């Protein structure tokens, strides 16, 4: 009896030594230690349901980038400027996503400039420092790219071809991981991150839209987002870096 208690104590000491960081139920068989991987969580469009992730982000020491369509702000289905300010004051980033979610391949000249520059002005007028932009649908022309630069943005994100490198190859064509859609599950999201590390490192920019249970094809379920956020939060003590796009680009 004495002997087995001693063995148990030894086992507990060994287990405690192995688990110095709090880790949630392991989604992968082996723990991974990150040396060269950066993750950014980005939310497009400023949907009202995005506000619900505020506490999840804060609770896991994570900061995200919210790309806002300022022409929709304060209207039904979208966040209010007060809610955006809450997110911003928590340390999240607010970026631009045009005035009315226009495909920038379909406009030019003054209309293109209005879509990009008036949107940014609106966000600045709400009190935000705005350096990051996301192209609606990931589409743009050379002219659109130039306008984004001229309006004062320091970077612009697409929606595909990720992972991105650090430093990025093209600040006005940041590459993102595949869309998170309603059937994207937690293990797959974890795999996106671990594969980047296993392939030598890089920048995994995740693109989210709605956060809800089945309200949209491009939606993540709140519980899956929470699960992923908990995992990301815990991996920060294993070397994983989670930052806003502006932070990674050195602009915030």
At closest approach, how far in Å is the CB of 74 from Zn ion?
17
Task: Report the residue closest to Zn ion, judged by CB.
Answer: 44
At closest approach, how far in Å is the CB of 233 from Zn ion?
26
Nearer to Zn ion by C-beta: 47 or 164?
47
Among 174, 172, 175, CA closest to 144: 172
Nearer to Zn ion by C-beta: 34 or 66?
66
Nearer to Zn ion by C-beta: 155 or 235?
155
Q: What angle do CA 187, 191, 192 make, to 5 degrees?
A: 120
CA distances from 115 to 7, 55, 178 (A): 69, 31, 26
At closest approach, how far in Å is the CB of 101 from Zn ion?
6
At closest approach, how far in Å is the CB of 198 from Zn ion?
30
At closest approach, how far in Å is the CB of 238 from Zn ion?
32
Nearer to Zn ion by C-beta: 96 or 136?
136
Which 3 state secondary structure label does DSSP give 240? coil
CA distances from 39 to 47, 106, 114, 226 (A): 22, 31, 31, 16
Q: What residues contact 191, with CB distance under 8 A and at least 6 apart? A: 28
At closest approach, how far in Å is the CB of 140 from Zn ion?
13
Nearer to Zn ion by C-beta: 42 or 235?
42
Q: Which run of H or of E encompasses 188?
A: helix 186-198
At closest approach, how far in Å is the CB of 52 from Zn ion?
18
Nearer to Zn ion by C-beta: 27 or 137?
137
Residue 198 phi, psi (nearest 5) = -65, -20
Q: Which run of H or of E encompasses 39?
A: strand 37-45
Among 1, 23, 6, CA closest to 240: 23
Contact set with Zn ion (CB under 5 A): 44-45, 136
What is the 8-class DSSP label of residue 50?
G
- 3-state SS of 13-26 is HHHHHHCCCCCCCC
Nearer to Zn ion by C-beta: 44 or 81?
44
- 3-state SS of 72-132 is CCCCCCECCHHHHHHHHHHCCEEEECCCCCCCCCCCCHHHHHHHHHHHHHHHHHCCCCCCE
């Amino acid at each position: 009896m004495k002997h087995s208690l001693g063995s148990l104590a030894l086992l507990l000491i060994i287990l405690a030594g192995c688990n110095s960081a709090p880790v949630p139920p392991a989604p992968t068989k082996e723990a991974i230690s990150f040396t060269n991987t950066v993750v950014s969580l980005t939310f497009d469009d400023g949907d009202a349901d995005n506000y619900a992730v505020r506490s999840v982000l804060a609770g896991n020491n994570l900061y995200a980038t919210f790309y806002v369509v300022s022409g929709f702000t304060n209207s039904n289905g979208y966040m209010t400027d007060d809610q955006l300010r809450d997110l911003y004051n928590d340390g999240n980033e607010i970026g631009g996503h045009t005035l009315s979610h226009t495909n920038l391949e379909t406009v030019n000249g003054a209309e293109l400039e209005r879509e990009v520059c008036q949107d940014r002005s609106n966000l600045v007028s709400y009190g935000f420092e705005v350096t990051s932009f996301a192209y609606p649908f990931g589409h743009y022309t050379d002219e659109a790219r130039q306008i984004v630069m001229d309006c004062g943005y320091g970077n612009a994100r697409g929606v595909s071809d990720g992972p991105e490198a650090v430093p990025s190859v093209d600040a006005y064509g940041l590459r993102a991981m595949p869309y998170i859609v309603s059937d994207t599950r937690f293990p797959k999201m974890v795999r996106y991150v671990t594969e980047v590390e296993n392939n030598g490192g890089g920048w995994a920019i995740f693109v989210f839209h709605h956060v809800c249970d089945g309200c949209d094809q491009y939606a993540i379920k709140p519980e899956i987002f929470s699960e992923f956020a908990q995992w990301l939060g815990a991996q920060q003590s294993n070397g994983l870096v989670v930052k806003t796009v502006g932070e990674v680009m050195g602009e915030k």
